[in-house]
Structure 1
Amino acid sequence: MQKRFENVNVNLQALAQYLNEWFISKGYQSQYFGYGNYYVIQAKKTGLLRHIFAADRAFTVKLMGAPGILDVNIGIADWVKAEDGIDAVAGDLILGPIGLLAEAGEGLWNLEIEKEVMGVIENYVRMNSYQAPQFPQTYYPQPYPQPPAYPQMRVCPSCGTQNPPNAKFCINCGTRLF
């Protein structure tokens, strides 16, 4: 499943981390990697049957961004080992359609997960996208800042040292302050 969001500006790293945490909250083993305008999030269920039948297959979400654009591609790909993560990002990770899994029942379930993941991304984009202004901003000169109000210091009558406002005695000579 592919989708392009236009006129949006999303922090890809924050979105990748959000999806990673979402997958973990759903009971998946999850990882994400990438840099700049390209991130990959992978998630797979753990358990004995997964290790036997589809140990190297994972839901894979590719996020690619440009100014005002977010491209999302969701599919199935081989689980990337951590040391190969940067190479997988630099190269092109090949995604297969989610429906191409071995068992039809599992394929239908995975299509539901795909729709749910896209819904999570759509909600995130809607809530966290910041819009660049479409018109030039009017310049308003900033007012001069007011100097901070300092508390009135107490001056020692004997030595002239400035003391904190709540001091009873001079911190320099010990003279009682009035």
Structure 2
Amino acid sequence: MEKTYTGRYINLQALAQEINSILAGEGWESSTQMMSPPMGSMQDYIVRGLKKGHMHHAEELIIRITGAPNDFRIIIEEEHIGALGRELIDHRLFKQIDKEINDGLFDMPYTPTPSPQMTPTPQMPSMQPQMPQTTAQGLRCSQCGYQNPPGAKFCLNCGNKLM
């Protein structure tokens, strides 16, 4: 099953981690993997879930999250799961994902990329390293501008080390 989401600016890495924890909470052995480094705004994550049953029977879920933060697809593939089980998993998983996205759980501040007409003039680089800005809400990453929670050591969005 596949579903496309547009119009909201979503942290896809956090969404993949949430899907991973949903599966783990339902008894699946699950893992999250970034398929390729982000190219521009395009990202690609895979969440794999495995549930072992009786007589060496194993059910497998492969959930792929691919696209840009404001236009992405979630694709669910099931293996060794009956039609009723597939429908139940797809419905329950998409219902929970839709609710969390609509509640703004994964929203990121929108930072438009400059178009060629709006290219800023280059500035001379300063010799001082940029320190992340500390606010009452947490740390802002100096590399991508993401607002991280207080006490974070690394940026949740890009992985940059916070000072």
Q: Distance in 1 between matches of 2:6 and 2:64?
A: 16
Moved over 3 A (4+): 130-134
Unaligned regions of 5+ residues in structure 1, if any?
78-100, 135-178
Aligned counterpart, 2:23: 23
Q: Where does structure 2 lack aligned partners over 5 or more consecutive residues?
A: 113-163
State the shift of 1:67 in Å.
Answer: 4.5
Calculate the TM-score normalised by the size of structure 1. 0.51
Match of 1:110 among 59, 62, 86: 86
Query: Take 2:72 and 2:100, find their aligned partners in 1: how far apart are those partners?
Result: 12
Amino acid at match of 1:26: E
Indicate the percent of aligned positions where both proteins have the same amino acid.
23
Partner SS for 2:29: strand
Instruction: Give the CA deviation at 1:131.
Output: 6.1
- Count of aligned pairs between the two proteins: 104
| Structure possessing the higher radius of gyration over alpha carbons | 1
Higher helix share: 1
For residues 86 and 50 of structure 2, the distance between their equivalents in structure 1, rounded to whole angstroms, comes to 11
Q: Note if 1:41 corresponds to 2:47.
A: yes
Matched, 1:8 2:8: yes
Kindly report the root-mean-square deviation, in angstroms, between the aligned alpha carbons of the 2 structures: 2.3
- SS of 2:62's equivalent in the other structure is strand
Query: Aligned runs of 1:16-95 on 2, under 5 Å?
Result: 16-34=16-34, 35-36=37-38, 37-49=43-55, 51=56, 53=57, 55=58, 57-76=59-78
> Any conservation in 1 of the 2:12–2:69 contact (CA below 8 Å)?
no
Q: TM-score, normalised by structure 2?
A: 0.55
Counterpart of 1:132? Answer: 110
Higher percent of residues as strand: 2
